[in-house]
Every structure is written in structure tokens, then in C-alpha cells.
């Protein structure tokens, strides 16, 4: 074994995967820096409740799990940087940060990307009307802020978050008007059968479903919100059946929460230039990783949902295994020790992997929706680009996502395509018969989110500006 | 060309390599002049300099000798509905170039004089007058050069407009097809081998318009011209309420600043990043990002309210004398080049049209751009 290399490791993301990994890495003796944009660790599932919350849903295993993780992290020597975001990185993995102290840089280090998932959103006519939120956004509002998106809510989209959010609305005393699911009913039965492998999830799912059934909430499968209209008291939502578009149901509600499953957050990994692939089951791009989170770059690892959506239990196991793999790669532990340390988590992982993968098609059940977008529907909210504009650019010869972006500005705005990329790709592949790989994905550009200009400039005098030599006359 | 050749799908009057503004404009006017034209690009069209540039239509930053061409190019952009088939949104505005120190003022006056001599309607005005023309500028300035002929164009609208015009004119567009070799064909003309096709594309003549990648390709034809690649940085802000209405620059030419119709402000001026044209990939140099943005904020103080939305880098090419390469490469008049034009987006449509005119038998004055001025070809015939 070569002599151990204890140079620093930086973990981006303090959710379950990142925090678990950071703690384990510091136990191996690495100097570890953990960066997270939240004011505390916990990520999406274990997010700490807001101190300003009106009320919180009754304490549950998620909050106590989060508290335990935060305590462990606080007791560890991990250098934590909260309220800090990575806005750029160099080819050598220098990280550009912005935090409470302004702009800062971290010198190159081994980086563990654990920045989790982004919700997939698919547009419909009128979706930019106020009081329409994402499922994940609604969930944060309720679980951490104790606030309902509305007293009456239509919950729509696909994947398990549908039922979780519906359940949260009931917990806070709201009314779920309808649940609109793009998935097949039979897909859920198939998942139910698999859940015997994951008893914790099974118990929870059964509890949710019984409660929703008891409340008499209509559930539409193979359906989606096709239009929203603002009224004096809230929204009128049209629900269309995917296999019988002529069959429509109209619901009045104060708010709608809508989301089509999760996808890995890839701005950082794409900028770092590691290999990615399209996962057809999940319908998303993910970095190519081995079971321990190794990528095509030796100084970059990806763990948790950022490596492919598998959920909370898998995220913890992946975080742990990645930390041990880094220890092995750096010569801190032997291959044998790695095997021993990871035997139990790897076994658990194999069992959970099957269940988690079963979730992917459920989350991706809306994949055909962008094909039928009405011309008038806004696809890119930041730049207000409509489906018709995209279709005419495609007709003029824009056959990949970046040419489409260049010609229409779709995806050029502040959100950098997080909201519109999936629908733009869906539209493109349907229109010219491309595969998702051929359609590609928007080139990631820095800064990853808007930065205050004064944070870039700082205080300065004119004479501080290093003016280059004059341009040729 | 014999009728038999004419009907073969991979045989063309002219094959143009490089689909930026130079190559695409040449293609458009050749096709309209009756030629059968193929336009080849290694990626999608208009994705290099011509797709990522700042869209400034200024005379303050153009090389003095190119001012007559820039004026014509600017006019063409403002008139795009009439020759390109759609209005791409070019906007005429005033332009101001500013001086904040004594040295800059001297440079400003000297450069204004030279540009005036070349036909640019530039006059040096007092700080008070400059603030009247552009209330957004820092009143700390010492002097400004004012030009009524300035403006900008939303670059992103140009590529799609060209694609439609080219198709309508009957140009065969071959995208995502890097040209790997160009060899003289037996019986005349050239075989252009592209990665995406088994058989080469044959042209009775060729035009090279590959921008920053010209050096290597000129080498295939025996020309050894060192071409410098500039890696220009651009910074765009989120949309803002109106903070400025003209195109702003500084005396040494290293700032271009304007606010587009949608409210976003674009900061450029040729500050450099890092990159390698052969391996691809570019990288922002943090000090240059900060310097460029500081300069912009100094010139328009209200930019302190802005948020930086995005930073990107694009590749521009420059010859040893910083003058363009436009004209014939061979005595047989069957190989041409167009490129390395300073502020080439502004004059691009005009330069491309000139070359098309030349190829179609006209006699425009291209003597200042003669590509043979640096060296005579190492070998008489092209080589692969
Ligand atoms: C960041 C930036 C800002 C600028 N701002 C301005 C401005 O504000 N105003 C202004 O007037 N000018 C500006 N310019 C300059 C202007 O953009 C260029 O002068 C002009 O676009 C050059 O056009 P071109 O057609 O010569 O080259 P390009 O647009 O670069 O086109 C060359 C084409 O050749 C293709 N190619 C390369 N190799 C091969 C191969 N082997 N096979 C096939 N195809 C190949 C490339 O893919 C590319 O499409 C700016 C330039 C940059 C980079």
C-alpha cells in the first residue's frame, strides 16, 4: 500500500448523503470542508424547521433523524460552511463560493458532489399563474414553514411525492381537492409488491394511502393538469386523461402543487466535465458513477441522489460507501478493510436498489406530456419562451438543445434551464425524432445562479482596475 | 460544370467551410447569384464567434481602416428585413467612448482624429454634453468621443434568421461535420472530406471561413500564417430597469457596454479568458472577470444594483497585422478565404457580400485584405 494521502476533501451538499460522507471522511482522518446553501445541514428530507414556522407538522422520524445528523456533524471536526453556495468551478476544481462573507475561493481538492436532486416540472397552459407551486416547494412550505399553499389544493404530477404532499396538506388541516397522477394505477401496485423489501417505506405508504382513501379524495391516474385559469377565489384547473384527451375534469381550488419526479442536479458535475449518461427509466441525465460514486475524474466523486435518484435510505448508504472508497483510493485503508467496512451497507444497498429503481418510471410517468404542449404555453418562464417559438426554431434546423437555446433564449435565464430543460427536450425529440442523447442538455454556465454585481467588484478605485493594453487602432 | 455533375447531390459550384457570419453570408449571396452551394460546419451553424459575440455595431472599437466597411455592415444589419428576409432587431443608438484620466483623454482625442479621417462621424464632447447624451454615465469623466452611428443587435436572433434564408436560397447545409481534409480533385476543384460522410463533398471552388480555426486549414493549402486566437469574455446581468441608452466604451477600446431591449446589460470589451482552440473548453480568469465588471460599474454607477447572470467566453481570430484575410488563395481562382475581421460581426454581412461579388465575377477592392500578403504558398498545389 502506498503511503496514505491526507490532502483535503470538500463535500458539496449537507443532505443525508453529504453529511454522512463528511463525517465518515473526517473519521478516516481527512481534513473535510462541507458546503451547503442552507443555514443548517439536513438537505431536503432532514431540513431543519424554520424558526419562523407558523406551526410544524407533528414531529416525525424525519425531523428527529435530521437532528441526530446535525448533532453528529457538530461533534465532528468537519469544517462546515453553511449559507454558502458554489457558483462556479475551474477545471482543476477550484471552487468559487459566495457566503455570508461575500465571494471566496477554495483551492483545488478532492470533491464529493452530494448536491441532491432537482424537481422536474412540466408546463401546461396557465402554469405561471400565482398559487401554482412545485410539489417539492409546497412540501418545504408545509414541513418547514408550517404554511399551506392554499386551504384547498389540487396535488398533481407523478411519483411518491404526490402522496406525501397530499398527506401533508391534510396534516396541516387543508383540503385536498384531487390527486392527479400521470402514472398507471398498476405501476403503484407493482411498487407496493416490491416494498416488502423496504418495510419502512411500506408502512408509511400504507398509512398515507388509507388516510387519503378515508378522506374520499378523487384520484386520477394517467392524467395531468392541462390548463389553469385564475378566478376571483383561486384557480380553475382542467385535468385531462392521457389516454382519452377528450375526457376532462374541472376542479376549483385555491392552489395547485405540481411536480413530475426528481432528477439529479448536474450543473457542477457537467461543468467539471465528467462523463454523463441518459437514464431512460428516470428520463434524466446522470453522471456515470460506479457503486462507490467514482466518476471519470479521479478527483471527483458523486454520492446520494446527485448520482441518480434513489431516495433517503440509499443516500445514507451511498454517502458512507463513498467515504470509505476515498479512504481506500487515498491509501488510508486497505482493500480488505474497505470490504469489511462496506459489507453491511453494500448488502442493504443491493436490497434497496431494486425498490428505488422501481420508483423511477413512476416519477417519469409524465414524459410524453411535452409532446402535446399547446403552442401558446410558456415553456421557459425566465425568458417567456412559448412552445410555438421552440417549434419554429426546430423547424428552422435547431436540432439540439443548445442550438434551440441559442436561437430562442429558452434556458438562458436566471434558473439556467432547471425548469424548462425537460420540456424543451421532450418537445425537440418528439419534433425531430432525436434521442435524448442527441438532443443533449444545456451547456452549464457560470455563475450557476445570479450573483450581486457588487460581490464581484468589491470596493475599488479606478486606478485599481488592471486595464489591459489598448486594442489595435 | 457538366449537367451530369450538376445533378450529383455531392457536387457543388462552391463548398464553404465554416458557417459563421462570414461563410453564411458568402453562401447566401452566391446562392442568390445562381450557384449551387454547400455550407459545412463542424458543429451547428452560428455557434462559434458569430453566435456568442456582443452584438455591438460600433465604430469606436473597429479598426480605423475598416470603418467604411463597418458603416456598410451596420447599415445592412439595420436593414436586415430587406436582404436577410427578417428583421433581427438591430437598434441604432448613439455611442460614447470615455476618458477618465489625462492619458486616456490624450488617447481618446488621438484615436477620434484617426477614425474621423476614415469617415466616422466622431466628435469629442465635454463631460456635461456626454452626461446629457447618456445620463447613466459616471460624471467623473474628463471627455468623451461621441458617434451618432452606433448600435447593437441581439446576436441570438441572427442564426435562426440565416438558417431560414439559406434554406430558402437553396443552400445545402451540412452541420456537425468537421472538415478533415481538403484535396485538389483530378479534373479540377476540391474534394472536401467531412467526418459525417463516406464520400467527400466536391466543390468546383472552396471558401474557407473557419474563423479562429483558419490557421490549420490555410496550412493545408500551403499558407503559413500565424493566427492569434483571442478568448473574449462577456458578462450579462439580469434584467434591470433602464440604466443606459447608448453603447459605451472607453478610450483604449477595452469596454463595450449596452442595455438590450429586454433590460439585461452586456459587459464586454475583449478582456481575456483561457482556452485552447484545439482541445476546446474555455475558462474564466477571475481577475479579468473582476476587472471587466469593475470597469463597467465605474462607467455606469447604477450597475451596482445589478446581478451577474452569466459569464462566457468566445474565440476571435487575429492576423499578425490585425487586418482581415479576404480574397483568392490560388492563381486559378478556385480557393478563397474570408475571416479574421476585427469587429467582424458588424461588418460581416458586408464582407461576405463582397467576397460573393468577387467570386461571381465582380471586382470589389479587396487589396488591403489580400491573403497572400504574408507569405507565398510553400507548395504550389494544395496538400492534405
Ligand atoms: C466574445 C466575442 C465578442 C465579440 N463582440 C463583437 C461585437 O460586439 N461586435 C462585432 O462586430 N464583433 C464582435 N466579435 C467578433 C465577431 O464575432 C467575429 O469577428 C465574427 O463573428 C467572425 O465570424 P466568422 O464567420 O469569421 O467566424 P465564426 O463565427 O467563428 O465561424 C467559424 C465557423 O467555422 C467552423 N469551423 C471551424 N473549424 C471547422 C472545420 N474543421 N470544419 C468545419 N467547420 C469548422 C466553426 O464551427 C464556426 O462555426 C466578438 C467576438 C467574440 C468572440
Residue A427 has pLDDT above 60, yes or no: yes
pLDDT at A439 over 80: yes
The ipTM estimated for the assembled molecules is 0.88
Output the pTM of the full model. Answer: 0.91
Could you tell me which of B218, B187, B171 has the C-alpha nearest to residue B332? Answer: B187
Q: Measured between CB atoms, which of A412, A447, A469 is closest to B308?
A: A447
How far from each other are the two terminal CA atoms of chain B, in whole angstroms? Answer: 24
pLDDT computed for residue B380 by the predictor: 45
Cβ contact, residue pair A471, B281, below 8 Å: no
User: What local confidence, expressed as pLDDT, does residue B283 receive?
Assistant: 84
Residues contacting residue B233 through CB under 8 Å, at least 6 positions apart: B268, B270, B271, B272, B273, B284, B285, B288, B289, B292, B311, B312, B313
Winning range, highest mean pLDDT, from A141-150, A167-176, A462-471: A167-176
pLDDT tens track for A213-262: 899 999 999 999 999 999 998 999 999 999 998 899 999 999 999 999 99
Residue B259: is its pLDDT beyond 50? yes
Is the peptide bond between A447 and the residue preceding it cis, with omega within 30 degrees of 0?
yes
Smallest CA-to-CA distance from B211 within B73, B366, B346, B340 is with B340
Rounded to whole angstroms, the Cα distance separating A312 from A45 reads 7
Nearest CA to ligand 1 atom 53: B314
Q: Is the pLDDT of residue B213 over 80?
A: yes
pLDDT at A63: 64
pLDDT in tens, A328-359: 999 999 999 999 999 999 999 998 888 888 88
Which chain A residues touch B if contact means CB-CB below 8 Å? 88, 90-91, 96, 105, 273, 393, 396-400, 402-403, 406-409, 412-414, 445-447, 450-454, 456-458, 460, 462, 464-473
Mean per-residue pLDDT, B31-50: 97
Counting one residue from chain A and one from chain B, the pairs whose CB atoms sit within 8 A come to: 125
Which residue's C-alpha cell is 397522477? Answer: A181
Which are the contacts of A379, defined by CB distance < 8 A and separation ≥ 6?
A: A123, A373, A385, A386, A387, A390, A410, A420, A423, A424, A427
**Contact assessment for residue A142 and residue A174, using Cβ atoms and an 8 Å cutoff:** no
pLDDT at residue A245 in the model? 86
pLDDT at site A49: 66
Q: Could you give the CA distance from residue A168 to residue A60 in angstroms, rounded to a whole number?
A: 12
Distance CA A384, CA A393 (A): 15
Nearest chain B CA: its distance from A85 CA (Å)? 15
Cell of residue A197, nine digits: 423489501
pLDDT above 70: residue B378 = no
Catalogue all structural domains in chain B, each as residue range(s) with its CATH number.
Answer: 3-50+157-225+321-373 (3.50.50.60), 94-149+228-318 (3.30.9.10)
Residue A383 confidence (pLDDT) above 50: yes
Q: Does residue A17 or residue B283 have the better pLDDT? A: A17
**Average pLDDT over all residues of chain A:** 92
Mean pLDDT of chain B: 94
Average pLDDT over residues A187-191: 84
**How far does Cα A352 stand from its chain's mean position?**
20
Would you call A458 and B290 a contact, using CB atoms and an 8 Å cutoff? yes
A367 contacts: CB under 8 Å, gap ≥ 6: A283, A426
Confidence category of residue B382, pLDDT binned at 50, 70, 90: very low
Q: What pLDDT band is residue A204 in, cutting at 50, 70 and 90?
A: confident
Contact (CB, 8 A) for B46 and B24: yes
The DSSP bridge partners found for residue A431 are none
Q: pLDDT exceeding 70 applies to what percent of chain A?
A: 96
A199 against B330, higher pLDDT = B330
The model's pLDDT over B46-105, given as tens digits with 9 standing for 90+, comes to 999 999 999 999 999 999 999 999 999 999 999 999 999 999 999 999 999 999 999 999
Residue range B348-373, pLDDT digits in tens: 999 999 999 999 999 999 999 999 99
Name the band, by pLDDT with cuts 50, 70 and 90, for residue B384: very low
Q: Which domains can be identified in chain A, with CATH numbers?
A: 9-118+263-361 (3.50.50.60), 121-260 (3.50.50.60), 373-439 (1.10.10.1100)
Tell me, what's the pLDDT at A88? Answer: 93
What per-residue confidence (pLDDT) applies to A145?
82
How is residue B84 written as a grid cell?
A: 436577410
Question: Could you read off the pLDDT of A314-323 as tens digits, one per residue?
Answer: 999 999 999 9
Amino acid at each position: 500500500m502506498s503511503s496514505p494521502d491526507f490532502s483535503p476533501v470538500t463535500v458539496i451538499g449537507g443532505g443525508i448523503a453529504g453529511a454522512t460522507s463528511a463525517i465518515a471522511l473526517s473519521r478516516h482522518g481527512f481534513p473535510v470542508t462541507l458546503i451547503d446553501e442552507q443555514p443548517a445541514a439536513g438537505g431536503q428530507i432532514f431540513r431543519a424547521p424554520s424558526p419562523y414556522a407558523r406551526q410544524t407538522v407533528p414531529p416525525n422520524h424525519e425531523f428527529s433523524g435530521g437532528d441526530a445528523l446535525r448533532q453528529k456533524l457538530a461533534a465532528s471536526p468537519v469544517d462546515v460552511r453553511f449559507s454558502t453556495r458554489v457558483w462556479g468551478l475551474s477545471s482543476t476544481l477550484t471552487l468559487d463560493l459566495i457566503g455570508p462573507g461575500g465571494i471566496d475561493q477554495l483551492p483545488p481538492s478532492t470533491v464529493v458532489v452530494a448536491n441532491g436532486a432537482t424537481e422536474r416540472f412540466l408546463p401546461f397552459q396557465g402554469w405561471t399563474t400565482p398559487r401554482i407551486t412545485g410539489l417539492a416547494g409546497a412540501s418545504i412550505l408545509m414541513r418547514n414553514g408550517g404554511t399551506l399553499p392554499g386551504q384547498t389544493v389540487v396535488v398533481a404530477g407523478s411519483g411518491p411525492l404526490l402522496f406525501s404532499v397530499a398527506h401533508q396538506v391534510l396534516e396541516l388541516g387543508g383540503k385536498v381537492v384531487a390527486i392527479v397522477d400521470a402514472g398507471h394505477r398498476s405501476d403503484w401496485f407493482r411498487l407496493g409488491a416490491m416494498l416488502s423489501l423496504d418495510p419502512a417505506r411500506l408502512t408509511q405508504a400504507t398509512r398515507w394511502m388509507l388516510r387519503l382513501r378515508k378522506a374520499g379524495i378523487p384520484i386520477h391516474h394517467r392524467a395531468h393538469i392541462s390548463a389553469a385559469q385564475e378566478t376571483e377565489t383561486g384557480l380553475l384547473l382542467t385535468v385531462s386523461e392521457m389516454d382519452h384527451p377528450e375526457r376532462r375534469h374541472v376542479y376549483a381550488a385555491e392552489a395547485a402543487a405540481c411536480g413530475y419526479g426528481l432528477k439529479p442536479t448536474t450543473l457542477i458535475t457537467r461543468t467539471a466535465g465528467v462523463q454523463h449518461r441518459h437514464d431512460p427509466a428516470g428520463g434524466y441525465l446522470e453522471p456515470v458513477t460506479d457503486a462507490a460514486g467514482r466518476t471519470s475524474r479521479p478527483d471527483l466523486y458523486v454520492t446520494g441522489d446527485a448520482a441518480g435518484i434513489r431516495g433517503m435510505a440509499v443516500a445514507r448508504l451511498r454517502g458512507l460507501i463513498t467515504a470509505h472508497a476515498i479512504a481506500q483510493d487515498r491509501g488510508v485503508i486497505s482493500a480488505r478493510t474497505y470490504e469489511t467496512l462496506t459489507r453491511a451497507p453494500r448488502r442493504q444497498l443491493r436490497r434497496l436498489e431494486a425498490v428505488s429503481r422501481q420508483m423511477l418510471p413512476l416519477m417519469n410517468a409524465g414524459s410524453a406530456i411535452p409532446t402535446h404542449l399547446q403552442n401558446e404555453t410558456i415553456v421557459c418562464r425566465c425568458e417567456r419562451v412559448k412552445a410555438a417559438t421552440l417549434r419554429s426554431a426546430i423547424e428552422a434546423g435547431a436540432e439540439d438543445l443548445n442550438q434551440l437555446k441559442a436561437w430562442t433564449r429558452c434556458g438562458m435565464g436566471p434558473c439556467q434551464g432547471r425548469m424548462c430543460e425537460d420540456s424543451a427536450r421532450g418537445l425537440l425529440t418528439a419534433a425531430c425524432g432525436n434521442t435524448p442523447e442527441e438532443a443533449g442538455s444545456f451547456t452549464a454556465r457560470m455563475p450557476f445562479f445570479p450573483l450581486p454585481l457588487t460581490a464581484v467588484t468589491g470596493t475599488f478605485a479606478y486606478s485599481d482596475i488592471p486595464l489591459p493594453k489598448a486594442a489595435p487602432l | 460544370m457538366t449537367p451530369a455533375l450538376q445533378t450529383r447531390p455531392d457536387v457543388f459550384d462552391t463548398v464553404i467551410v465554416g458557417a459563421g457570419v462570414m461563410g453564411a453570408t458568402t453562401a447566401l449571396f452566391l446562392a442568390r447569384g445562381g450557384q449551387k452551394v454547400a455550407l459545412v460546419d463542424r458543429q451547428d451553424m452560428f455557434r462559434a464567434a458569430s453566435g456568442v459575440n456582443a452584438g455591438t455595431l460600433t465604430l469606436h472599437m473597429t479598426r480605423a481602416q475598416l470603418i467604411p466597411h463597418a458603416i456598410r455592415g451596420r447599415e445592412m444589419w439595420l436593414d436586415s428585413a430587406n436582404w436577410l428576409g427578417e428583421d433581427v432587431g438591430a437598434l441604432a443608438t448613439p455611442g460614447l467612448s470615455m476618458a477618465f484620466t489625462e492619458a486616456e483623454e490624450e488617447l481618446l482625442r488621438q484615436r477620434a482624429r484617426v477614425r474621423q479621417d476614415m469617415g466616422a462621424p466622431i466628435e469629442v464632447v465635454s463631460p456635461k454634453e456626454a452626461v446629457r447624451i447618456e445620463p447613466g454615465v459616471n460624471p467623473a469623466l474628463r471627455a468623451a468621443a461621441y458617434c451618432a452611428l452606433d448600435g447593437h443587435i441581439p446576436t441570438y436572433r441572427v442564426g435562426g434568421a440565416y438558417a431560414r434564408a439559406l434554406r430558402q436560397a437553396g443552400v445545402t447545409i451540412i452541420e456537425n461535420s468537421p472538415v478533415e481534409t481538403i484535396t485538389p480533385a483530378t479534373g479540377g476543384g476540391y474534394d472536401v472530406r467531412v467526418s459525417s460522410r463516406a464520400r467527400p463533398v466536391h466543390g468546383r471552388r472552396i471558401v474557407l471561413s473557419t474563423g479562429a480555426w483558419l490557421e490549420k486549414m490555410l496550412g493545408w493549402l500551403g499558407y503559413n500564417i500565424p493566427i492569434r486566437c483571442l478568448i473574449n469574455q462577456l458578462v450579462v446581468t439580469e434584467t434591470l430597469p433602464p440604466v443606459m441608452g447608448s453603447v459605451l466604451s472607453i478610450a483604449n477600446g477595452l469596454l463595450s457596454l449596452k442595455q438590450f431591449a429586454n433590460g439585461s446589460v452586456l459587459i464586454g470589451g475583449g478582456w481575456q479568458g483561457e482556452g485552447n482552440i484545439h482541445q476546446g473548453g474555455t475558462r474564466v480568469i477571475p481577475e479579468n472577470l473582476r476587472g471587466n465588471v469593475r470597469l463597467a460599474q465605474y462607467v455606469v454607477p447604477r450597475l451596482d444594483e445589478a446581478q451577474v447572470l452569466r459569464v462566457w467566453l468566445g474565440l476571435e481570430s487575429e492576423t499578425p497585422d490585425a487586418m482581415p484575410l479576404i480574397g483568392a488563395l490560388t492563381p486559378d481562382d478556385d480557393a478563397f478565404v474570408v475571416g479574421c475581421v476585427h469587429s467582424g460581426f458588424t461588418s460581416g454581412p458586408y464582407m461576405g457580400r463582397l467576397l460573393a461579388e468577387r467570386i461571381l465575377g465582380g471586382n470589389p477592392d479587396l487589396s488591403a485584405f489580400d491573403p497572400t500578403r504574408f507569405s507565398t504558398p510553400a507548395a504550389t498545389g494544395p496538400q492534405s
